[in-house]
Structures are given as C-alpha cells and as structure tokens.
C-alpha cells in the first residue's frame, strides 16, 4: 500500500490530522492497535480551549460539540473556607472554554472520516515504523504501508517516539509525588462551573461531562489502586474536600467509572526526526490540572497540517523543517502553566509550614489581584492561535 501520510494512532491528534489533510486533498492511512470501541469509550480530558473549538468547527466536525458542549466563562478556586471565581468574561472577554468529553471528539472525528471514505484501521497488530531518515514506511500484521511522511500520534507509550535513534531526542521529565483518582458519576453537577479545591486533605476537582454526568478527581498517593476506593469512601472524601463553603452540598449518585492517573510532565525535543513528526502525547505530557493535553495535541496538528499542505503543494520542506520550533513555545507555556496550577493546588508530603503559607499567599494573590487572575485566565482558556 502507498499513501502520502501514514498516521500512527487514532486518538484526537491522529484523527484530526487525517481529517484536516483530507480537506486539503492529501491522502492518509490511520493505524490503531486498539479497537474502535475502545478509543471511542476511553474517558479522558473534557475541557476544550477556544482555539480547539474553533478548529473543530472550522473543520466541519463541531455540530454536536456546539449543540451538546457546555460553554463556561469562569472557574472557581476554593480554599480556606471560601470560594473565589476567576471570571473569564471579564478578564479574557473574547475567549472561554467548552466542556465536551475527549471521547465525544473522537466519536465525531471517526464518524466524519468514515463518512468521507477515510482509511482507518483498528485492531492493527505489531505496528512498527522504519526508514524514518529518508524513505519512511510502516509495517503491521505482515503488511507494509509506504508513505512520504509518518505522523506519530500514538501517545506516550506508542511505537513512534522509541523508533527515533538514541541520542537524537533530549527528554525533559518530572514525576509528581501523587496521582489523581478519576471518577465518573451518573449525577447532575453540583455547580455550574469547574471547582478547583485546595484542601489540607489533598486536592479535589469538581467537573462535569453533561447535565446528567459529573466528573471528579481526588489527589491520591502515586501507588493508589482504584480498587481500594469503594464508592462510599470516594463520596466521603469528595465531600470532605469540597463541602468547605457555606451553602454548598455535593450531590451523590451511581459511580460508573474509576481510574488512577499518574501525574507527570514530559517533553521530547525536537518533535521530529527525518520524515517522522510527533504530535500530542507522543511528544509531550502535562499534568491534567491545567487541562492542556488535548488542546496541545490540536495545536500541534494545526501546525503540522499547514506544513504538510505546503510540502505536498510546492515541494518545499521549509515549514516541515520548522515544525518542532513552531510548536515548542506553546508546549513549554502549557508545561509551565500546568506545573504552576499543580503546585498551587496540591499538598506535598514534604511541605513544611513555611511552604504551605507561601502556597496560601500565592492563592490569596491570584484571587485578589486582577492582574494575577488575568494571567491564570489567559493561560486557562488558551493562548491565541
């Protein structure tokens, strides 16, 4: 087989890239080791920046997003027995966020690609990439896919990044001394906007996926097992960390999913080698506190699409050669913001009284200074495209 772009991974990055390339008349084949049901059902991020929404709508895959997504114009920081709203409509009036699950974005993209006759291959065994320096191709299940470019969109544990020769990439990484226990519950949200709660017991986040589904996160030890958190314990801990302001009561209900997510920061530079271009989690990971993972993947794909369109239209590799340099400033801005939000809101086992007072002082500054709040708001809704 032959195509112009071989795409490894059918997550949001790979699917969106395939669709955007299709709109430019560029052929692609998407190879995914998991089943279609698996990639459509796995619950991941749910906060879309304004730029991500605009990209999906412009690509013709935003109809359901605009109909079912939940636009938000602020978030709440909760600590010290008080609630503090960061008002996006005042601080960044031209931008907001939309709550819409990553799995819903994936469903929309798969439907659009299949409707357009896209070549999506699920449950593909033994995917490997070769010839990256000059003549790339992929092998899978005894077959070979020749292409001019390979896009590695297969996540942190995929095969694309490890295929780069040793010594080419510089890796920057940090592991955090805690994880998140994520919970999806069949219960209406108890608040209209996301609540980020700093508590001496640990961080908690109240989010949502729809008017009927709520999403919660609890800071837990890094080796925590979801099986050690029965429903009663989950609700008791969420109440202890969230019911800290007068008049707020957390609604409880059926928990339909639990999982533990490690907290790490990771960047591999450069995001390319030869004719391999890494996008999304294959190139970088952020802790989920800042809600940047999916949005960074979309930003990478926007840049890569323009570079590939120029390459196939004119033969010029100038934009492709500059792909990594074009992406990394946004990647590192998101890295810093995600680290900052994580440091601001979580408890650390080695914190002393001095460090905790510094943390609270910084929270007081963010919630009392319009300039500081505007910095949080600008980063949270996403820097302009």
Q: Could you tell me if 219 and 203 are in contact, meaning their C-beta atoms sit under 8 angstroms apart?
A: yes
* Best CA proximity match to 264, nearest among 175, 332, 180, 182: 175
User: SS3 string of 180-216?
Assistant: EEEEEEECCCCCCCCEEECCCCCCEEEEECCCCCEEE
By the 8 A CB rule, do 163 and 276 touch?
yes
What Cα–Cα distance (Å) separates residue 80 from each residue in 77, 277, 310?
10, 46, 53
User: What are the backbone angles phi and psi of residue 7, rounded to the nearest 5°?
Assistant: -115, 120
- Where are the CATH 3.30.9.10 domain residues in the chain? 174-263+349-381
User: pLDDT per residue over 125-144, tens digit each?
Assistant: 999 999 999 899 999 999 99
Q: Tokens standing for 17?
A: 């890239």
* pLDDT tens-digit readout, 178-187: 999 999 999 9
Q: What integer pLDDT is reported at residue 51 of this predicted model?
A: 96
pTM: predicted TM-score of the whole model, two decimal places: 0.96
| Residue 216, beta-bridge partner list | 183, 206
Domain with CATH 3.50.50.60 in the chain: 5-72+96-173+265-341
Q: Which two three-digit tokens encode residue 135? A: 């003549």
Which run of H or of E encompasses 38? helix 36-41
Sole residue written with tokens 């010290």: 80
Q: Answer whether residue 351 shows pLDDT above 90.
A: no
pLDDT digits (tens, 9 = 90+) for 15-46: 999 999 999 999 999 999 999 999 998 877 78
Residues known to be catalytic: 72, 196, 288, 292, 380
Neighbours of 67 (CB within 10 A): 7
pLDDT digits (tens, 9 = 90+) for 275-295: 999 999 999 999 999 999 999
Model confidence at 86, in pLDDT bands (50, 70, 90)? very high
Under 8 Å between Cβ of 180 and 338? no
Per residue in 142-172, pLDDT tens?
A: 999 999 999 999 999 999 999 999 999 999 9
Tell me which residue of 315, 336, 332 sits closest to 270, measured CA to CA: 332
Of the candidates 226, 251, 228, the one whose C-alpha atom is nearest the C-alpha of residue 238 is 251
Cα 54–Cα 57–Cα 59 angle in degrees, nearest 5: 110
Give the CB-side neighbour count of residue 322, counting CA atoms within 13 A.
10
Statement: 174-263+349-381 belongs to CATH 3.20.20.120: no
pLDDT at 41: 87
CATH architecture observed for domain 5-72+96-173+265-341: 3-Layer(bba) Sandwich (3.50)
């Amino acid at each position: 087989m032959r195509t112009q772009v071989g795409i490894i991974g059918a997550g949001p990055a790979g699917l969106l890239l395939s669709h955007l390339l299709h709109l430019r008349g560029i052929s692609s084949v998407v190879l995914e080791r998991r089943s279609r049901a698996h990639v459509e059902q796995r619950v991941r991020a749910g906060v879309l920046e304004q730029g991500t929404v605009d990209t999906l709508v412009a690509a013709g895959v935003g109809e359901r997003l605009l109909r079912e997504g939940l636009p938000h114009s602020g978030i709440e920081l909760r600590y010290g027995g008080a609630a503090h709203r960061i008002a996006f409509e005042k601080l960044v009036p031209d931008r907001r966020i939309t709550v819409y699950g990553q799995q819903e974005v994936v469903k929309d993209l798969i439907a659009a690609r299949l409707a357009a006759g896209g070549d999506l291959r699920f449950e593909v065994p033994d995917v490997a990439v070769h010839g990256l320096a000059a003549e790339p191709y992929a092998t899978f299940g005894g077959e070979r896919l020749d292409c001019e470019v390979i896009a590695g969109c297969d996540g942190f544990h995929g095969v694309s990044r490890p295929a780069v020769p040793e010594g080419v990439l510089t890796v920057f990484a940090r592991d955090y001394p805690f994880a998140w226990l994520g919970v999806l519950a069949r219960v209406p949200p108890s608040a209209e906007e996301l609540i980020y709660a700093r508590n001496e017991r640990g961080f908690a986040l109240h989010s949502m996926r729809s008017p009927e589904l709520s999403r919660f996160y609890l800071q837990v030890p890094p080796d925590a097992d979801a099986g050690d958190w029965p429903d009663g314990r989950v609700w008791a801990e969420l109440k202890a960390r969230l019911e800290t302001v007068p008049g707020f009561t957390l609604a409880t209900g059926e928990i339909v999913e639990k999982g533990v997510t490690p907290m790490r920061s990771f960047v591999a530079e450069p995001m390319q080698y030869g004719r391999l271009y890494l996008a999304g989690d294959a190139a970088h990971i952020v802790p989920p506190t800042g809600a940047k993972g999916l949005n960074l993947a979309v930003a990478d794909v926007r840049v890569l699409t323009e570079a590939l369109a120029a390459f196939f239209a004119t033969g010029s590799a100038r934009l492709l050669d500059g792909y990594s340099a074009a992406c990394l400033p946004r990647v590192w801005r998101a890295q810093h913001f995600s680290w900052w939000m994580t440091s601001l809101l979580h408890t650390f086992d080695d914190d002393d009284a001095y460090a905790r007072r510094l943390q609270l002082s910084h929270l007081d500054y963010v919630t009392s200074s319009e300039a500081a709040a505007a910095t949080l708001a600008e980063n949270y809704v996403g820097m302009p495209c």
